[in-house]
């Protein structure tokens, strides 16, 4: 092996990880639009210069620097960062220095490929002259997305709380958009309303996040949601309710899923997508679960030092999960007094449901742990159809499809798999129209109270 290759592997350790963000520009790739903007605003509240990367404009660059075998989100985010860097270089000329930026690309412990995105992107960035010093800031599901090391020690807890809360609020705002857009008084009114709302809530996070003044943030949110109510035309009748599950990036990133929710709405749906917070709660829940399993083993083997350690970790993750769910419950409770946005699932309830139905096991991991019970819950709550959204060849979503398809057939609830890559499939819109025709039939027969029973 030559020296260059050894250096590039070293770079996976030394330039991918948790880095102090002071004096840097923190670059956040856009996944769900509102979530990205509120997260950046929360970081700015702590004095960190955080911005959301423009997305999808660099897709050609992303494709040029991937082989085509990577997951689609890896190609898109690769393009986003290369495009931004290219433009920064052009804007700043000789004063451009990649060292001034930290690019955010979290990872997961597997078993799928998400843990490899930042390693792959590191290798590509190292191959560009001048981009080798751009650090990749990574957080992992392995420690429940800890933010230790990004900021001064005494601010770590506040940053974590504010970051988490930004995603809860973003989920509620997304749900508000999906609640009002199918019933808007005039075309485009909901989108314009939400553009302003994002600015208002970003300003609220900038002002209140550092002090973790969640009450002040929620007061702003209540005002925004009260305005959202006015977008709805009360004369319009209820529409079939469609639930979305799937791979987190594809189902949240509207360009990559070719504006799926809007297309469903065009054919008469009201849609609820799975939330981002669901994934954040799942990662904490899963760490807690793993610690409990490890404790059980340590007890059997009388490993006292390890028992002590495991108990400490269980208390830590347990409190974290409790805190997250408490904040989420509070935010939804207050939001729902103003606008009837859809409630979110509880991770413990999802694991219980999987066990009851004998469908899947949390031991396997991945988003299938959330998508499979998510679909069953939608069915039980009277949804008129479910769509599974994912990148072409995505392992957990293909698995989800294999498990739930026979169940949906038995329950006679319309179900659609929608895999995406950068190509536009000619029959895609026809498939969605057919699915929506079936959902309309289901809605006519059952209203929104089908409850997943057989016809």
Which residues lie near ligand SF4 (CB under 6 A)?
71, 73, 112-114, 247, 367, 391, 394-396
- Shortest CB 444 distance to ligand SF4, Å: 35
Closest approach, Cβ 200 to ligand SF4, in A, equals 32
Residue (73 or 243) nearer to ligand SF4, CB: 73
CB nearer ligand SF4, residue 116 or residue 216 = 116
Q: Which C-beta is closer to ligand SF4: that of 158 or that of 252? A: 252
Which residue's structure tokens are 């760490």? 287
Do residues 335 and 80 touch, judged by C-beta distance below 8 A?
no
Q: What's the chain look like in SS3?
A: CCHHHHHHHHHHHHCEECCCCCCCEEEECCCCHHHHHHHHHHHHHCCCEEEECCCCCCHHHHHHCCCCCCCHHHHHHHHHHHHHHHHHHHHHHHHCCHHHEEEECCECCCCCCHHHHHHHHHHHHHCCCCCCCCEEECCEHHHCCCCCCCCCHHHHHHHHHHHHHHHHHHHHHHHHHHHHHHHECCCCHHHHHHHHHHHHHHHHHHHHCCCCCHHHHHHHHHHHHHHHHCCECCCCCCCCEEEEEECHHHHHCCCCCCCHHHHHHHCCCEEEECCHHHHHHHHHHHHHHHHHHHHHHHHHCCCHHHHHHHHHHHHHHHHHHHHHHHHHHHHHHHHHHHCCCCCCCCHHHHHHHHHHHCCCCCCCCCCHHHHHHHHHHHHHCCCCEEEEEEECCCHHHHHHHHHHHHHHHHHCCCEEEEEECCCCCCCHHHHHHHHHHHHHHHHHHHCCCCCCCCC
φ, ψ of residue 113 in degrees (nearest 5): -90, 0
Q: Which is nearer to ligand SF4, 398 or 425 (CB)?
A: 398
- Closer residue to ligand SF4 (CB): 151 or 394: 394
What whole-number distance in Å separates Cα of residue 14 and Cα of residue 282? 29
Closer to ligand SF4 by Cβ: residue 113 or 181: 113
**Interacting residues of 410 by C-beta distance below 8 A, sequence separation 6+:** 454
Please, which residue, 367 or 377, has the CB nearer to ligand SF4?
A: 367
Task: Give the nearer residue to ligand SF4 in terms of CB position, either 45 or 371.
Answer: 371
Tokens of 250: 């594809």
CB of residue 280 vs ligand SF4: minimum separation in angstroms? 16
Residue among 69 and 153 whose Cβ is closer to ligand SF4? 69
Judged by beta carbon, residue 291 or residue 367, the one nearer ligand SF4 is 367
Measured CA to CA, the distance from residue 318 to residue 284 in angstroms comes to 8
Cα–Cα distance between 369 and 350 in angstroms, integer?
8
Residue nearest to ligand SF4 (CB): 112
State the minimum distance, in angstroms, from the CB of residue 73 to ligand SF4.
Answer: 6
Tokens of 111: 């078993």
If the CB atoms of residues 163 and 391 are measured against ligand SF4, the closer one turns out to be 391
Beta bridge partners of 388: 245, 417
Q: How far is the CB of 288 from ligand SF4 (least distance, A)?
A: 22
């Amino acid at each position: 092996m030559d020296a260059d290759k050894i250096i590039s592997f070293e770079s996976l350790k030394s330039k991918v990880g948790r880095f102090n963000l002071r004096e840097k520009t923190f670059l956040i790739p856009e996944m769900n639009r509102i979530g990205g903007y509120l997260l950046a605003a929360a970081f700015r509240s702590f004095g960190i210069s955080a911005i959301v990367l423009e997305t999808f404009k660099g897709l050609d660059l992303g494709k040029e620097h991937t082989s085509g075998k990577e997951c689609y989100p890896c190609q898109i985010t690769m393009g986003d960062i290369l495009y931004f860097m290219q433009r920064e270089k052009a804007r700043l000329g000789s004063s451009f220095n990649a060292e001034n930026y930290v690019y955010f690309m979290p990872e997961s412990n597997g078993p799928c490929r998400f843990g490899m995105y930042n390693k792959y992107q590191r290798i590509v960035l190292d191959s560009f002259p001048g981009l080798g010093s751009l650090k990749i800031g990574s957080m992992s599901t392995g420690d429940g997305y800890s933010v230790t090391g990004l900021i001064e020690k005494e601010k770590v807890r506040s940053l974590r709380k504010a970051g988490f809360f930004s995603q809860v609020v973003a989920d509620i705002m997304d749900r508000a958009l999906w609640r009002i857009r199918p019933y808007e008084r005039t075309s485009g009114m909901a989108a314009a309303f939400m553009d302003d709302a994002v600015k208002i809530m970003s300003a609220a996070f900038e002002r209140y996040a550092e002090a973790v003044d969640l009450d002040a943030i929620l007061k702003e949110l209540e005002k925004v949601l009260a305005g959202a109510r006015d977008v709805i035309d009360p004369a319009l009748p209820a529409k079939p309710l469609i639930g979305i599950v799937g791979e987190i990036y594809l189902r949240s990133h509207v360009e990559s899923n070719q504006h799926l929710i809007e297309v469903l709405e065009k054919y008469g749906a009201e849609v609820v997508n799975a939330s981002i917070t669901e994934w954040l709660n799942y990662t904490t829940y899963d760490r807690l679960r793993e610690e409990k399993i490890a404790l059980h083993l340590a007890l059997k083997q009388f490993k006292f030092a390890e028992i002590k350690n495991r108990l400490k970790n269980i208390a830590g993750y347990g409190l974290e999960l409790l805190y997250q769910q408490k904040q989420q419950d509070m935010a939804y409770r207050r939001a729902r007094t103003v606008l009837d946005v859809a409630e979110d699932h509880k991770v413990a309830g999802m694991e219980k449901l999987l066990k009851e139905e004998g469908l899947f096991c949390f031991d396997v991991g991945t988003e299938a742990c959330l998508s499979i019970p998510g679909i069953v819950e939608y069915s039980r709550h009277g949804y008129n159809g479910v769509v599974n959204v994912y990148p072409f060849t995505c392992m957990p979503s293909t698995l989800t499809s294999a498990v739930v398809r026979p169940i949906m057939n038995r329950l006679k609830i319309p179900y659609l798999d929608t895999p995406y890559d950068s190509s536009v499939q000619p029959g895609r819109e026809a498939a969605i129209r057919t699915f929506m025709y079936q959902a309309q039939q289901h809605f006519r027969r059952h209203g929104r109270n089908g409850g997943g029973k057989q016809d």
